[in-house]
Structure 1
Amino acid sequence: MKPSNKLKILNDPIYGFITIPNSIIFDLIEHKYFQRLRRISQMGMSYLVYPGAHHTRFHHAIGCMHLMQKAVQVLRFKGVAISDEEEKALYIAILLHDIGHGPFSHAMEHSIVSGVSHEEISLLFMEELNTEFNDDLTLAIQIFKGDYHRKFMLQLISSQIDMDRADYLKRDSFYTGVSEGNINSERLITMLNVKDNELVVEDKGIYSVEKFLDARRLMYWQVYLHKTSLVAEQLLIRVLKRAKELVKKGVALEASKPLTFFLENEITLDEFNGNCLETFAKLDDYDIVSAMKNWQYHEDFVLKNLCEMIINRHLLKIKVKKKPITEAVFQKHMSDLKGRHNISDADANYFVFTGQVSNLAYSRKKQNINILNKNGKVVDIVKASDQLSLKALSKPVTKYYICYPKDQL
């Protein structure tokens, strides 16, 4: 049998041609666990605000791998020793960093599986794949967990200026059409270096970092925390919560086998065994959308209306304020809804609720973004920058919201 060519080239709308660097990366991309990412949206319910935002976690993971190739090339050029084994591990780790995302990405995190983050599920997938691939992922897993002695390698995957953020800001900006998020990721990568085993940015890249942090702040307010996306994601979480509640009471709900499994069982990290992981790997956006299309005709008042709202984009009204929502305002909307439909407080809470969102473009408490001066001194970006707004960007901004039905409910 003729061996297949595994050094393929993909055409990406952001970066142009992306080369698959080796056969193990090709085999991982071909694997059913990774192919599932084609059916997981990158931006959850944001397509209800930005019609072009239909790109997937698959796009994003491939883009991250491409940027990691650029980063390895740049660091090697600057004299940073990276072995072939380390290079391969970096590509594997960044390719699989999001493989544990559930349906609609962040929207349903902690909902499908109780209190388990997508990073923890990603690690479970990587360990399962490591068994399948004869321990070829061992070093990648060490780097991903932060157990490898070369700290900068983890920082390339997960930090405040990693390949993940460098791709999603540029990619999400492109697909939403929000130009404020369009960072020059290749310029940023060209400015990277390593000092004392830590990732740093050379001082001539300081303005690129400033633009990167500013773009992140704007993308969060304009896109990720957009009020319509926010209310849609809250409705989606409540759909699953209500479905689980009904199933516990013995109500039969039409759903796919993987979704039915997670509706019927409360799965924690300790219970996430091989069979459970295999079931999770069959779950994607299509299961949720298909279920909601059926459930919008269900006799349960809450489930029916929640699903109909998402399917037909008849969302709840949302008001965002700088101060917490008062109890009086909340109770007024509760009374209005209960009076119109004669429902209980518990049912009304699915449609009237408050919450808060925070935006922190740069955290000085986490792994800092360090600038490498020409004299070899390393300084935090906030101290190195002459831009006053960076100090403001390192302080969290919190906004408060209330959601309640429009007249048609």
Structure 2
Amino acid sequence: MSTKNKLKIFNDPIYGFITIPNSLIFDLIQHKYFQRLRRISQMGLSYLVYPGAHHTRFHHALGSMYLMQQAINVLRFKGVSIAHDEENGLLIAILLHDIGHGPFSHAMEHSIVNDVSHEEISLRFMEELNEEFNGSLTLAISIFKGEYPRKFMCQLISSQIDMDRADYLKRDSFYTGVAEGNINSERLITMLNAVNDELVIEEKGIYSVEKFLVARRFMYWQVYLHKTGLVAEQLVTRVLKRAKELVSLGLNLRCSDALSYFLRNEVNASSFDKQTLSVFSKLDDYDIVSAMKEWQHADDFVLSNLCEMIINRDLLKIKIKNKPIKNSELIAHRNALINTYDISKVEADYFVFQGEITNQAYQAKRQNINILLKSGKIKDIVKASNQLNLKALSKPVTKYYMCYPKNKM
């Protein structure tokens, strides 16, 4: 039996030293399911825009756990009762909240896996680990699913001001170098409280919340919805779709066994069984990147060109507008491509397409952020704030984009 010291310390560039609180959490971090997150980029292909954005979901999961430790300490200090098993449940739930992300996760969710979100896969991983760890994750799963009766605990995992967002905004800002997204997560956590088992922010933390929401808006427009990152993600989605289409026609594409499984099989919520989960746990960014390096030399015009664009960062051109783009523009670009390369409309649609993006920094109707006033009253942040722009931040802003090849592919 291993006598390994399980009270390890990680040196994190954002928060400094992060301590693993107990042996169960150490064993979960050591598990192959969690170690896979070292090979899953936190921001997909955003490093094509921001060269420093190479941090992983492993970094983010540990950072979120650290912030949860701080939040528990603050709430206890303010007299909020949190039992030892509840503390453990909170730490495990936040540690594993992203364990179901696949390589370039959102691209994968829209191509080779149908109608199965990363949250659902995270839950399946947690249930599998719960069996392996003799029911030790039961409370964490209840909190993760939002079923635990103490609502503030569920809100710490998933809400509009949860520990997930508190970490990724600060972390992504740091690694991209986009200073506008740098939030004071420690200050926010210090202002946390719970009233009637609901999460609130004390009135003196109102400016920190305002900064948090504004930073979130900036990060979405400047980073998460950056036009180059958007094109790259769309291209990966189309690479996987095209590969799956070719495999279904009997073509043999060289790739890892794990990726091959998802190309050969129709995977959806009902067919995502234990075997599928096991194969999924072997899939990471390296499978996709190495496959694209191989496929850029494929005979298929669509697949080879899409892969070459990503590997060599010679992407499609993108036009973003505030109003829907006219179909005539799309048709003109598509016809030019068809005539130049003598390809079909179906093939041309892989290179010429349109879509829309939406940014809503604050969703007032979804688990609103409540401010605890000095009088004891509780108000929504928009009503409690004297900043007029917060009301504007609660309205969705939609933009429309069109992608098409540059003059020469």
TM-score scaled by length of structure 2: 0.99
Distance in 2 of aligned mates of 1:325 and 1:43: 28
Aligned match of 1:160: 160
Aligned-partner SS, 2:148: coil
Distance in 1 of aligned mates of 2:208 and 2:47: 29
Cα pair 2:160 2:369 within 8 Å, conserved? yes
Aligned match of 1:43: 43
Q: Structure 1 residue 339: deviation in Å?
A: 1.1
Q: Deviations over 1:289-320 (max 9, x none)?
A: 00000000000000000000000001000000
Q: Displaced runs of 4+ in structure 1, greater than 3 A?
A: none
Which amino acid is the alignment partner of residue 113 of structure 2?
V
Aligned match of 2:298: 298
Matched, 1:355 2:344: no
Aligned match of 1:261: 261
Aligned-partner SS, 1:52: coil
Aligned match of 2:78: 78
Which amino acid is the alignment partner of residue 136 of structure 1?
S
**Equivalent residue runs for 1:242-321 within 5 Å:** 242-321=242-321
Distance in 2 of aligned mates of 1:380 and 1:201: 10
Distance change in 2, residues 1:257/1:2 (3 Å): closer
Which amino acid is the alignment partner of residue 39 of structure 1?
R
Which amino acid is the alignment partner of residue 268 of structure 2?
T
Aligned match of 1:57: 57
Distance in 2 of aligned mates of 1:339 and 1:218: 41
**Equivalent residue runs for 1:225-244 within 5 Å:** 225-244=225-244
Cα pair 1:192 1:200 within 8 Å, conserved? yes
Distance in 2 of aligned mates of 1:80 and 1:269: 39
Distance in 2 of aligned mates of 1:271 and 1:196: 41
Aligned-partner SS, 2:3: coil
Distance in 1 of aligned mates of 2:190 and 2:109: 34
Distance in 2 of aligned mates of 1:111 and 1:20: 36
Gaps of 5+ in 1: none
Aligned match of 1:186: 186
Aligned-partner SS, 1:128: helix
Cα pair 2:112 2:244 within 8 Å, conserved? no
Aligned match of 2:336: 336
Determine what percentage of the aligned residue pairs are the same residue.
73
Aligned match of 1:98: 98
Aligned match of 1:376: 376
Aligned match of 1:176: 176
Cα pair 1:318 1:403 within 8 Å, conserved? yes
Distance in 1 of aligned mates of 2:325 and 2:282: 40
Q: Deviations over 1:61-88 (max 9, x none)?
A: 0000000000000000000000000000
Distance in 2 of aligned mates of 1:329 and 1:163: 43
Q: Deviations over 1:99-154 (max 9, x none)?
A: 00000233322423111000000000000000000000000001111111101001
Aligned match of 2:216: 216
Which amino acid is the alignment partner of residue 369 of structure 1?
I
Aligned match of 2:198: 198
Aligned-partner SS, 1:21: coil
Question: Alignment length, in residue pairs?
Answer: 409
Q: Structure 1 residue 274: deviation in Å?
A: 1.1
Distance in 2 of aligned mates of 1:150 and 1:19: 26
Gaps of 5+ in 2: none
Cα pair 1:319 1:402 within 8 Å, conserved? yes
Distance in 1 of aligned mates of 2:310 and 2:287: 15
Distance in 2 of aligned mates of 1:81 and 1:7: 25
Q: Structure 1 residue 2: deviation in Å?
A: 6.7
Cα pair 1:110 1:116 within 8 Å, conserved? no
Distance in 2 of aligned mates of 1:224 and 1:138: 33
Cα pair 2:6 2:22 within 8 Å, conserved? yes
Cα pair 2:92 2:140 within 8 Å, conserved? yes
Aligned match of 2:325: 325
Distance in 1 of aligned mates of 2:151 and 2:214: 26
Q: Deviations over 1:17-66 (max 9, x none)?
A: 00001111100000000000000000011000000000000000000000
Matched, 1:4 2:27: no
Q: Deviations over 1:332-355 (max 9, x none)?
A: 101111111011100000000000
